[in-house]
Structure 1
Amino acid sequence: MVGAELARPAATEIARPAATAIAQGGASSAPAIDWKTVEEETMRHFQAIVRFDTTAKERPAAEYIKKVLDDNGIPAQMYSLEPDRPSVVARLKGNGRKRPLLIMGHTDTVTVDLSKWKFGPFSATRDGGYVYGRGVIDDKDNATAALMTMLVLKRNSVALDRDVIYLAESGEEGNARVGIGYLVAQHFPEIDAEYCIAEGGDVIRENGAVKYAEVETVEKIPYGIELVAHGISGHGSIPLKSNAIVHLGAAVGRIGAWRPDIKLNETTATYFRKLATIAPPEQAKYYRDVLSPDPKVARAADDWLFENEPRHSSMLRTSVSPNIIQGGYRSNVIPSEAKATLDVRMVPDEDRPAFLEQVKKIVNDPAVDAHFATAGAERPAPGAARLDSELFRAVETAVTKIYNTVTLPSMSTGATDMAQVRTKGTQCIGIGSAIDVEDQAKGFGMHSDQERLLESELHRFVRFNWEIVNALARAR
């Protein structure tokens, strides 16, 4: 059903813990919260949401979330472009002195290979202090933490200077058209806000200790560029100079060896400057050098980053990765056409037509065409959250209070649903639970076959969300 709809009955009834009442309508003092009770309920909701298989079918999780909100006196609606893929929106009203705050997380997940999981990917198994399951760190932790923040606000009757809007969106993993794209296009007034917090950042732990917090203030924009080589078809027993695969292979090789120029922005310059202050001396040198006005010094540092820390090298520029090659249909037939698709992640201020011309110059072959893969090449670039804003200060203060560490503003090399909200003028910051830097290599990270999250870090993340929302929205 397209548009707002009623939820089907959910199977789980949620008990309400006692609340500490705060008078509505005027300034309020910070409520005394029973965090032990909050943690117990957090785990119930988190496990319930993780246990729904939401790979391109978010309805059961959406219905569960809607029922929790409705049962706690927070009216929620579901919006769906496709029947099985609704998003949930709920709002706590403030006094209107400030524009709303949007807190969001997505309920869908990437697919799973059941044969590779020790614990069932939708079991939400608790083992050794961890919760295992698909989506526990992408992004059902955010969806749950934001949900619990709404419940704590409501149960404690917190007076608000601004509306707080909750969004559990569908379709983030590869099909934003059914989720945030649909909401922005058809129901944007329901989620229109001054500020937004969502996924996109991480708190980094190493050897069990928190090292720093990355919060995403800007993100790259994904585009596809296609290289299409044209030649003459023929019999494979007679090699031809015009062989499309040969021309394409050479073009892909040139693209693969190319690193576009370094393009720093406020976020990335601040990121590397602050990272240099906390990194070991041998690494800090490269973080400082990459900021050097001397191109040779910066390039030498970039060479080291590309070899040793490729994510950091990608943060410096628009990146290009050849990821798909298509050509030929029989081993004894020379194809007349071959195609490669480049995954291009542009920095927000990149000149798209000019960049395409750079690609053509690098390819340097009249037999190979280069063009954007879709009309999406003309979509507007999302803005960045200001580092001198009330939003960033609230996040930084919460990081200090909850994690006792430094806050690094970062530019995501990937893409999030914040991009479409940012294009409407909302300032967004991406946050995330604390994760062990060692986990990804061990197969415990995001999208891995043993995705996991420490229970203690889930609870700390709820507190982190609460501190941000309390700072930005509570009436004073």
Structure 2
Amino acid sequence: MEHFQAILRLDTSNPPGNEGLVVDYLEAVLKKNGIETKRFANDPARPNLVARLRGTGKKRPLLVMGHTDVVKVDPGKWTHPPFSATRDGGYVYGRGTVDDKDNAVAGLMVMLQLKRLNVPLDRDVILLAEAGEEASTQFGIKFMVENHWPEIDAEYCFAEGGGVTRTGGQIRFATVQSSEKIPYGVTLTARGPSGHGSTPLRTNAVAHLAKAVARIAEWQPPMRLNDTTRAYFERLAAISSPADAARYRAVLTPQSAEAQEHFAVNEPRTNSMLRTSVSPNILAGGYQVNIIPSEATATLDVRALPDENIEQFIEEIRKIVADPAVDVARNDRNTRPGAPPSRIDSEAFFAVEQAVKARYGANVATLPAMSPGATDMAYLRAKGMQCYGVGPLTDSEDGPKGFGAHSDQERILESSLHTFVKFNWDIVVKVAGAR
């Protein structure tokens, strides 16, 4: 808790990042305990920290990863100051409590305990405290993969992306991110002659853009499962109510239109796992009320399935728009590489399943999941590393209350943090410990 609060109190909002604040702290703690560390930086203020405990080399290394930057905050919407790490009512409040300084401190504690107990290892255990995960990977994982790959090369990786879901005080299941969608930006640009607002024009760029956005929003791209999502729905059906189970099983067959529509309306996250998704998120056009603008734009957030052919998908968007006055162009600001899902029959996945039962309950199911969002494991999977996203227990009610990752507030149960550290210990020792 001391280390967790210390790094939560360091403002590493991205932009600008300033991840060096957390790296300084972690490096000092690791060095004090005799653990080998190295810094790598594309920007001196935004370094990455690599710590390594050496094993016998019988097996390839294990990488444990957590990012040190956080998303920005609106302080006026926080009950407790966002960088105060306030403990109140069994919770710790602060930006980064569940994204992702929980993973960073869990990784730190595992390294310290492995060193203190002198645990025999068949694999090197590598801790990567990385910069820039929140929208600037050129300072973090992209930089490390392209310039310092030997320092982090491993057979397996554990990082953010999963979690344990509790609803109404009852643990429902654990998810392990074994795949993720790939973010792309697409810009719609409508053009037409400008003019006086007192004389409406059929060529009005704003009107053409509005129709194009409406068509995109109403479009449901085709559903497609992969190994991860198929296993997710099969296992989720086995632990769900009869009505929910029927819907989850329905998407395993082509005749699932009714179930898909139910998910689109009632479970949008589930719906997003089924397909490449498109969300129109930014509109811009006009600068004065009595002037018809000559140009208006919309930015679409596309989250593609890992094997999606993005150029063909953009061509489908053009067909949906079906308007020569509207240009459709790819606009990638923070995309990540596509890669096949990680295996769910590996020793690392089995270790996670065992730890879930040991720490959260013998009857708690582990579901492989494809994240609709993006993590830095995409860069590692693209290099062939088998990666698994894990996370602490959170209450499903917290998100709607505004306490989730990227929300106006953020918090974690103290008990959840401590259990998550023990869970990380279990999976690291199981995978890397000497037999």
Q: TM-score by structure 2 length?
A: 0.96
Q: Does 1:240 align with 2:201?
A: yes
Asked if the contact 1:383/1:427 (under 8 Å) is kept, the reply is no
- Separation in structure 2 between the aligned mates of residue 178 and residue 121 of structure 1, nearest angstrom: 24
**Aligned partner letter, 2:106:** A
Unaligned segments of structure 2, at least 5 residues: none
| CA displacement 1:414-434 (0-9 Å, x = unmatched) | 001111121111110000000
Contact 2:337–2:378, Cα closer than 8 Å, also in 1: no
Whichever residue aligns with residue 140 of structure 1, its letter is: K
Instruction: Write the distance in 2 (CA, Å) between the matches of 1:176 and 1:164.
Output: 23
Q: Secondary structure in 1 aligned to 2:236?
A: helix
Report the residue type matching 1:303 in the other structure. Answer: E
* Cα shift at 1:229: 1.2
Match of 1:322 among 277, 280, 303: 280
Q: 1:350 is matched by which residue type in structure 2?
A: E
Aligned to 2:290, which of 314, 325, 332? 332
Q: How does 1:247-326 map to 2 (within 5 A)?
A: 247-294=208-255, 298-326=256-284
- Distance in 2, Cα, partners of 1:448 & 1:393: 32
Would you say the 8 A contact 2:227–2:341 is kept in 1? Answer: no
CA distance in 2, matches of 1:452, 1:396: 26
Report the equivalent of 1:123.
84
Q: What's the counterpart of residue 315 of structure 2?
A: 357
Q: Deviations over 1:154-197 (max 9, x none)?
A: 11111111111001111111111111111111111111111100
- Which runs of structure 1 show a deviation greater than 4 angstroms over 4 or more consecutive aligned residues? none
Matched, 1:343 2:301: yes
Structure 1 residue 380 displacement after superposition: 3.9
- The residue identity in structure 2 corresponding to 1:406 is A
Aligned to 1:100: 61
Given the alignment of the two structures, is residue 367 of structure 1 paired with residue 320 of structure 2, yes or no?
no
1:86 counterpart residue number: 47
Q: CA separation in 1, counterparts of 2:242 and 2:401?
A: 27
Question: C-alpha separation between the residues in 2 aligned to 1:311 and 1:340?
Answer: 23
d(CA) in 2 for partners of 1:308, 1:234: 43
In structure 1, what is the equivalent of residue 348 of structure 2?
Answer: 391
Whether 2:423 is the aligned partner of 1:467: answer: no
1:65 pairs with 2:26: yes
Offset at 1:375?
8.4
Kindly tell me: are residues 170 and 259 of structure 1, through their superposed partners in 2, closer, same or farther at Cα, counting changes over 3 Å?
A: same
Q: Are positions 1:184 and 2:141 aligned together?
A: no
Identify which range, 185-194 or 278-287, moves more after superposition: 278-287
Q: Give, in whole Å, the separation in 1 of the partners of 2:176 and 2:154.
A: 19
Aligned residues: 430
Q: Residues 41-90 of structure 1: CA distance to partner in whole angstroms, max 9, x if unpaired?
A: xx111111111111111111110000111111102122221122111111
Match of 2:382 among 418, 423, 442: 423
**Is residue 225 of structure 1 aligned with residue 186 of structure 2?**
yes
C-alpha distance in 1, partners of 2:178/2:257? 25
Counterpart CA distance in 2 for 1:356 and 1:446 is 30
The equivalent of 1:205 in structure 2 is 166
Q: Which residue of 1 aligns with 2:401?
A: 442
Aligned residue for 1:174, secondary structure, equals coil
- The 3-state SS of whatever aligns with 2:269 is helix
Distance in 2 between the 1:113 and 1:253 partners? Answer: 30
* Residues 270-302 of structure 1, C-alpha deviations (whole Å, 9 max, x = no match): 1111111111222222111121232xxx11101
- State the Cα RMSD in Å: 1.3
SS at match of 1:242: coil
CA distance in 2, matches of 1:473, 1:181: 26
My pick for the range that moved more, 150-159 or 282-291, is 282-291
**Equivalent position amino acid for 2:357 in 1:** T
**Structure 1 contact 134–451 (Cα < 8 Å) conserved:** yes
Q: Which runs of 5+ in 1 are unaligned?
A: 1-42
Structure 2 contact 337–379 (Cα < 8 Å) conserved:
no
Task: Sort the Cα spacing of 1:380 and 1:169 in 2 relative to 1 into closer, same or farther, 3 A.
Answer: closer
Q: Is the 8 A contact 2:247 2:259 kept in 1?
A: yes
Aligned counterpart for 1:412 among listed residues 354, 365, 371: 371
Q: CA deviation at 1:111?
A: 1.2
Given that 2:163 and 2:175 are in contact with CA atoms closer than 8 Å, whether structure 1 keeps it comes out as: yes
- Counterpart CA distance in 1 for 2:259 and 2:150 is 46
Deviation digits for residues 311-360 of structure 1 (CA, Å, limit 9, x no counterpart): 00010000000111111122222122211111000001111121111111
Change in 2 beyond 3 A, CA 1:60/1:374: closer
Bigger Cα Rg: 1
How far the C-alpha of 1:210 sits from its partner, in A, is 1.4
Aligned to 1:157: 118
Q: Which amino acid aligns with 1:428?
A: C
| Structure 1 residue identity aligned to 2:183 | P
Q: TM-score, normalised by structure 1?
A: 0.88
